[in-house]
């Protein structure tokens, strides 16, 4: 009976800790959402590059791409999300806000497997920026068929 009580106490403690952790994650997500939607927190951004022509690669290669920017406003820049136009590209936005005057980078990886020919890809960035909260970053790449296929 004593062992059952001890086990019950451990299970309850784990449930409480897990609940607190999830609550913190939910609050952080809500804070990020509020920053992007509250015009009092809007800032401006200068994209140092927002369109790229990446040339030609061979099918099967994974191509890294990055887009640099500078927070030109007076509020922290919060990147809420970066949505690739298809599943062949994975985006890696900054996790932390970018302070006024500082630079940041959005990285991505394009998987050219089964993507033969010209490819035009878009990353849709949602952030606390004015005049618009969305920016479209684009890149072009031509994928040549791998020899022997």
Task: Note the pLDDT of residue 147.
Answer: 82
Place of tokens 């033969």: 116
Q: Do 31 and 52 sit in the same domain of this protein?
A: no
- Pairwise CA distance, residues 125 & 133, whole Å: 8
Q: Do 71 and 16 sit in the same domain of this protein?
A: no
* Distance between start and end Cα atoms, the chain: 67
Domain that holds residue 107: 40-144
Q: Do 33 and 50 sit in the same domain of this protein?
A: no
Q: Do 115 and 58 sit in the same domain of this protein?
A: yes
Task: Note the pLDDT of residue 61.
Answer: 96
Count of domains for the chain:
2
Nearest to 95 by CA among 25, 23, 22: 25
Task: Note the pLDDT of residue 10.
Answer: 52
Q: Do 49 and 83 sit in the same domain of this protein?
A: yes
- Averaged in consecutive runs of 10 residues, what is the pLDDT profile of the chain (149 residues)? 50 45 43 63 95 96 97 97 96 96 97 96 97 97 86
Q: Do 68 and 122 sit in the same domain of this protein?
A: yes
**Which strands form 51-58's sheet, in the order they lie side by side?**
51-58, 134-144, 117-127, 79-84
Structure pTM?
0.74
Task: Note the pLDDT of residue 143.
Answer: 97
Q: Does 136 map to a domain?
A: yes
Q: Does 15 map to a domain?
A: yes
Count the Cβ atoms, other than its own, within 10 Å of residue 145: 11
Q: Does 149 map to a domain?
A: no
Q: Do 79 and 120 sit in the same domain of this protein?
A: yes
Q: Do 83 and 111 sit in the same domain of this protein?
A: yes
Task: Note the pLDDT of residue 149.
Answer: 55
């Amino acid at each position: 009976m004593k062992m059952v009580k001890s086990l019950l106490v451990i299970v309850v403690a784990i449930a409480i800790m897990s609940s607190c952790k999830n609550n913190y994650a939910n609050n952080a997500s809500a804070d990020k959402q509020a920053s992007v939607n509250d015009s009092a927190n809007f800032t401006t951004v200068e994209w140092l590059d927002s369109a790229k022509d990446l040339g030609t690669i061979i099918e099967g290669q994974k191509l890294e791409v990055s887009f640099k920017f500078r927070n030109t406003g007076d509020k922290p820049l919060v990147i809420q999300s970066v949505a690739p136009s298809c599943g062949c590209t994975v985006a890696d936005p900054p996790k932390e806000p970018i302070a006024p005057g500082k630079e940041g980078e959005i990285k991505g990886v394009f998987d050219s497997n089964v993507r033969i020919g010209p490819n035009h890809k878009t990353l849709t960035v949602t952030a606390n920026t004015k005049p618009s909260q969305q920016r479209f970053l684009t890149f072009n790449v031509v994928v040549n068929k791998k020899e022997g296929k």
